[in-house]
Amino acid sequence: MNLFKIIIYAFFIIVQNSIIKMALTGGPFRDFKWGGLTLRPTKDGDAEWQVSGREYETEASPNGDDYATETAVVGYIQQECAMTTEEFNEFKQLQDGEARSGIATAPDGSVLSMNGRIEGEHILTGGKVTVKIAGKVRLQ
């Protein structure tokens, strides 16, 4: 029975360590399209993203059994973008709570597909706005 517990514990450790969860920085997205809009990342802004998935945590109980808990992780993509007043107004019209599809190429060349909603308040300052879209984010 102890061998079985060790195998289960090892399985959850492997799964936990193999979850793709990244917050990547190091430059802007090279291509960023969402909801029918082509967004223009600023050259000095860093792309930040986390893919959707699950995280697992294992714990030992006082009686010697091992338990695993699972938590869903909501993905997001965040990037500072340059926008004109007209582009910003178009973007704000899409802040209706409806999920829309998009695609982005990360600085390292990874292609991300997303289906999500605009998250948070967005203010156009000096022709720039930080865009955050949360929902399903997957590596292609």
The residue extents of the domains of the chain are 23-52+73-139
pLDDT band at 17 (very low <50, low <70, confident <90, very high): very low
Residue 140 has pLDDT above 70, yes or no: yes
Q: What angle do CA 61, 65, 67 make, to 5 degrees?
A: 75
CATH classification (class only), 23-52+73-139: mainly beta
Which pLDDT score, from 0 to 100, does residue 24 have?
45
For 63, half-sphere exposure in the C-beta direction (CA atoms, 13 angstrom radius) is: 2
Residue for token pair 């090279």: 30
Residue 6's pLDDT band (boundaries 50, 70, 90)? low
Contact of 51 with 9, CB cutoff 8 Å: no
- For residues 13-35, give the mean pLDDT: 65
Q: What is the mean pLDDT of residues 130-136?
A: 95
pLDDT digits (tens, 9 = 90+) for 29-68: 988 999 999 999 999 888 999 999 888 888 888 888 888 8
The confidence band for 115, taking pLDDT boundaries of 50, 70 and 90, is very high
CA separation for the pair 45, 132 (Å, rounded)? 13
Q: Global pTM?
A: 0.71
65-103 pLDDT tens trace = 888 888 889 999 999 999 999 999 999 999 998 999 999
